[in-house]
Structure 1
Amino acid sequence: MPQLLAGRRVLVTGVLNEDSIAFAVAKNAQLMGADVILTGAGRAKRLTELTAKRLPEQAPVLEMDVTNDEQIEATVADVDARWGRLDGLVHAIAFGPSTTIGGEFVGVPFEDVSKAIHISTWSFARLGEAFRDLLRASDAASYVGLTFDASIAWPGYNWMGVCKAGLESANRYVARDFGPDGIRVNLVSAGPLRTVAAKSVGGFDALQQHFVARAPMHWDLKDPDPTGKVVCSLLSPMMPCVTGEIVHCDSGFHAVA
């Protein structure tokens, strides 16, 4: 494995199990030479701790709920004490109440929508703000988030699609503001994968079949590894002057009618 991240220090959020894109990012980052810290929140933190043991090197897991400012600041302080800088930050966090995914788009209570936007969209800017000073301390800092193509209305994706559209817009604004600090900010738009999150999306099975049939290149619904490697490429110093972008890792599906 090329040591693209040798000596780099990377914080990865959103690791739940080995099927997650975040796990593929953390695994490949370590194989490429990076030191990695994971974060988890609430009851899911236990899953993160168990999954961390399956990495090439067990990574420490810090408690960080992105809706809790005290936990965010405590994580920043912990990373600062350990490393004094941060070369890479990965936002792999999305959540919406069951009312926001599947069923009808209209008629969803605003309280549910606002929670989905808070966690899935606003937190991207909030984490960037919190870790900005540590990223500034790097000589080639990179902040990478995950999206699912928000240019069209997908079956069942509903308000999460709106959250991703907001995330894609937020990516451009954060990239604009962080550029003078030398911090690159990008998103990776992955094709559908059979993750824990995907199971909650109504109509996802039909979407998967259509995707596999139409993508110009082979797409493996069970393999998050290609997406993890693309994220690591963006985390590396080998992608200079690339910021505000949405890099598609979907075997070319987005490019065909």
Structure 2
Amino acid sequence: MGILEGRRLLVTGVLMDSSIAFHVARIAQQEGAEVVLTSFGRTMKITQTIAKRLPTTPPVVELDVQDDEHLASLAERVGEHVDGLDGVLHSIGFAPQGAFDFLGASWDDVSTALHVSAYSLKALAVAALPLMPNGGSVVGLTFDGRFAWPVYDWMGVAKAAFESTSRYLARDLGPKGVRVNVVAAGPIRTTAAKSIPAFDTFENTWGERAPLGWDVRDAEPTARACCALLSDWFPATTGEMVHVDGGVHAMGQ
């Protein structure tokens, strides 16, 4: 029996089979979970195609986290496929190119980054809450927002806000039996990473700094951590940030 046997999970962010979310969905199914995916707009067809590469093809529901109507109807629409949820993976992030120029970024670019990449964690958790009357687990993906990283700029600020949001959610959803944690992954070569200018700044040095080494093409260690947190193996852990980065976070310069 797998660690997610019988659990029902909502997984956002599956775009390509290189996506961390894709590997979370794959491992979750292998561990016995029933999975529902989300996508939106022009990427719906891409997600539906990629979903066929999973062990079992899951349903895909539309969710734009900037669309209040999508959020308000999410529980009803997901409920057409599963009778409840035990866990939610937040793997959503976006910043306009202008947000990667810290001093020159406009508020429009910054506010978009904060809305999609930070506020959406609260919005998604609240939207899914009616399907978790007996509690559950919300897990988000971050890139350690405690530091001022090269080239990350306002996306780094958004990730810091995302991590803070997870702690406030842990406070407010804990009494409802819902745990909220984030996984801080090292750099993974995903579609999202390609949108970050000079992403190879991280790629070229991370493996040298990581005591355990690091493979930017391997999303499985991160996905396994997410699945563990989505399981009931961490029943008293919430408001936590788990690092899956080869150990870089613990090293000095």
Shorter-chain TM band: over 0.9
Partner of 1:145: 140
Tell me the C-alpha RMSD between the 2 structures: 1.1
Name structure 2 gaps, 5 residues minimum.
Answer: none
Partner of 2:250: 255
**Structure 2 counterparts to residues 100-179 of structure 1, below 5 A:** 100-101=99-100, 104-138=101-135, 141-179=136-174
> 1:248, 1:42 → 2: CA distance?
32
Deviation at 1:153, TM superposition (A): 1.0
1:234 aligns with 2:229: yes
Deviation at 1:215, TM superposition (A): 0.1
Deviation at 1:46, TM superposition (A): 1.3
Kindly indicate whether the alpha-carbon contact (under 8 Å) linking 1:86 and 1:137 is maintained by their aligned counterparts in 2: no
Name structure 1 gaps, 5 residues minimum.
Answer: none
> 2:55, 2:65 → 1: CA distance?
27
> 2:192, 2:149 → 1: CA distance?
15
**Match for residue 197 of structure 1 among 185, 188, 192:** 192
User: Which residue identity is paired with 1:110?
Assistant: W
> 1:135, 1:116 → 2: CA distance?
28
Deviation at 1:57, TM superposition (A): 0.5
> 1:80, 1:189 → 2: CA distance?
30
Deviation at 1:80, TM superposition (A): 2.5
Q: Which moved more, 1:117-126 or 1:129-138?
A: 129-138
Deviation at 1:88, TM superposition (A): 0.5
Deviation at 1:70, TM superposition (A): 1.2
**Structure 2 counterparts to residues 26-37 of structure 1, below 5 A:** 26-37=25-36
Deviation at 1:83, TM superposition (A): 2.5
Partner of 1:89: 88
Deviation at 1:18, TM superposition (A): 0.6
> 2:131, 2:75 → 1: CA distance?
8
C-alpha deviations, 1:35-63, integer Å up to 9, x for none?
A: 00000011111111111000011111111
Partner of 2:176: 181
Kindly indicate whether the alpha-carbon contact (under 8 Å) linking 2:15 and 2:46 is maintained by their aligned counterparts in 1: yes
> 1:78, 1:105 → 2: CA distance?
39
Deviation at 1:75, TM superposition (A): 2.4
Runs of 4+ off more than 6 Å: none
Name the count of aligned residue pairs: 252
> 1:90, 1:132 → 2: CA distance?
13
Kindly indicate whether the alpha-carbon contact (under 8 Å) linking 1:38 and 1:61 is maintained by their aligned counterparts in 2: yes
> 1:12, 1:207 → 2: CA distance?
26
> 1:248, 1:135 → 2: CA distance?
26
Kindly indicate whether the alpha-carbon contact (under 8 Å) linking 2:134 and 2:177 is maintained by their aligned counterparts in 1: no
1:5 aligns with 2:24: no
**Structure 2 counterparts to residues 14-93 of structure 1, below 5 A:** 14-93=13-92
> 1:117, 1:221 → 2: CA distance?
26
Secondary structure at the aligned position of 1:89 is classed as strand
Secondary structure at the aligned position of 1:43 is classed as helix
> 2:208, 2:178 → 1: CA distance?
38
Kindly indicate whether the alpha-carbon contact (under 8 Å) linking 1:155 and 1:204 is maintained by their aligned counterparts in 2: no
> 1:61, 1:106 → 2: CA distance?
39
Deviation at 1:133, TM superposition (A): 2.2
Deviation at 1:180, TM superposition (A): 0.4
Kindly indicate whether the alpha-carbon contact (under 8 Å) linking 1:217 and 1:251 is maintained by their aligned counterparts in 2: yes
Partner of 2:218: 223
Deviation at 1:136, TM superposition (A): 2.4
Deviation at 1:92, TM superposition (A): 0.3
